Amino acid sequence: MELGYARVSTVKQDLDRQIDALGQTGIAAERIYVDKKSGSTVDRPGLRAVLEYARDGDVIVVHTLDRLGRTVRDTLNLIHDLSERNIGVRNLADPIKVDSSNPDDPMAQLSVVLLALFGQMERTYTLERAAHARAVATAKGRRVGRPSVVDPDKLAYAEHLRTLGHTMAEIVAKTGITRTSLYRHLPPRPPESVTAGPEPAADPGPET
């Protein structure tokens, strides 16, 4: 059986175009599940209902794949989970046609592979953008991450213990500050010499 799923992001948007396209494929209106929810919203009753209703051999049809998930990776994970239940996914209007219900069709399987590739690219670009944003913020002197909640007196005591040569485990035990917070707030130890010779002079940097 083919089951339809349609979604728009807000209640002000219209589902008619998607429902009409799904209906033209022969899917009855009572088998088209709908949501007026953002793709980033986990609680989507229509999607939950179609996933619960679908049985072995069924195919979930969508107008475009972005109706299923917020990202390519979300959609790919859902396709994979459904394939474990022998439930297929087919799209109607995307440039790349996906039909995971037909494992014998090499082009259909190639589409799923391409989708996986795009999902990996999407994840890589997201991580690179986040890393770049952190580096820029750090270079400008802005602290990245959640605001510090470390007691300043405890932190000063931790710095004192660090100066005296205590290990990180000992500092954690004496101050109660977590190891992660200590690594975030304490300056790194100066590098130890790896030779018996004198310490090398600090690099003055490029001449200006």
Residues 6+ apart with CB under 8 A from 107: 97
**170: its two tokens:** 């000992």
What is d(CA 168, CA 150) in angstroms, rounded to the nearest whole number?
16
Token pair of 49, please?
């209902």
Q: Which two tokens stand for residue 4?
A: 């339809």
Told to judge if 9 belongs to the known catalytic residues of this protein, a careful annotator would answer: yes
* Residue from 84, 77, 76, 71 nearest 38 by CA: 71
Name the amino acid, one letter, at 45: P
Query: What is the phi/psi pair of residue 4, to 5°?
Result: -100, 150
| 5-to-11, 90, 91 alpha-carbon distances in Å | 16, 11, 10
Q: Which of 9, 38, 40, 193 is the catalytic position?
A: 9
Q: Quickly tell me which residue has 């998607």 as its tokens.
A: 18
At 91 the three-state DSSP class reads strand
Which residue do the tokens 């500050």 mark?
Answer: 177
Which residues are designated catalytic? Answer: 9
